[in-house]
Amino acid sequence: MSAPDKDNPGRAAGASVEEIAELLLDRPLPPGYREEWTRHFAQIAGDSEASHTPDGEESAVVIFRIGEEWLALPVDVFEEVAPPRTHHSLPHRREALVWGIVNVRGELLVCVSLAALLGVEAKAGERNAGLKTFARLVVVGREGARVAFPVDEVHGIHRYGRQDVVAVPATVGRSGASFTAAMIRWDKRLVAKLDGTMVLDALDRGIA
């Protein structure tokens, strides 16, 4: 395997990660790239009224996965997404919600289980068995009060317009129904967008 891998430029030549990133960033635009994005952004998001208000038109959430469940939280409750860390359990705190404390860049944070709060199965999903996924520790909070919880995967920031919001079905199952603010269409599936304030409130109550 001495020939350079087409999907992996620079690998064969022993290039560093930085050099590979450089190559990827500096590669010319693929054919049709500009045209496709031009078409994409020419579409009017939601109703035409909304496109005149700079802020009301799109919202942004961070989409992450716990077990089999894809969930979304508004970006403004997010403080940090960190690599997973070992947590230290606390004496006499053996309930499902509070796992213990974690050290995030020198700051000790309470580590909770969002899965336990929402009642979703925290078992790692087998759906992406062929795909490499990366577990992450997510830090959320407000006004300096921060908590951390582990997730199985973070997709990233997703922006959505009003046309992608679907009302929560009345027959929503056990999985965090009361915390779900809306359903968002994402990549051919529906993601439960959680109410950030309600989740933080519930975590505060659970920790105390």
Q: Which of 155, 181, 168 is nearest to 69 (CA)?
A: 155
One-letter amino acid for residue 184 of the chain: I
Per the CB < 8 A criterion, the answer to whether 45 and 51 are in contact is yes
If one asks whether residue 106 binds another protein (CB under 8 A), the answer comes out as: no
If one asks whether residue 18 binds another protein (CB under 8 A), the answer comes out as: no
CA geometry: angle 200, 153, 202, nearest 5 deg? 15
Q: Residue 114 Cβ, how far from another protein at the closest point, in Å?
A: 26
Question: What are the C-alpha distances in Å from 35 to residues 2, 25, 31, 111?
Answer: 36, 19, 9, 46
Stretch that binds another protein, among 23-31, 101-109, 177-185, 195-203 (CB under 8 A): 23-31
If one asks whether residue 27 binds another protein (CB under 8 A), the answer comes out as: yes
Stretch that binds another protein, among 20-28, 86-94, 105-113, 171-179 (CB under 8 A): 20-28
Distance CA 80, CA 185 (A): 24
For another protein, which residue of 1, 3, 13, 29 counts as binding (CB under 8 A)?
A: 29
**Tokens linked to 89:** 């359990």
With CB under 8 A as the rule, give the number of residues binding another protein.
22
For another protein, which residue of 4, 8, 19, 37 counts as binding (CB under 8 A)?
A: 37
**Tokens linked to 113:** 């289980």
If one asks whether residue 129 binds another protein (CB under 8 A), the answer comes out as: no
If one asks whether residue 43 binds another protein (CB under 8 A), the answer comes out as: yes
Contacts of 119 (CB under 8 A, 6+ apart): 174, 175, 176
Residues 141-160 that bind another protein (CB under 8 A): 159
The residues binding another protein (CB under 8 A) are 24-29, 33-35, 37-38, 41-45, 48, 51-52, 54, 57, 159
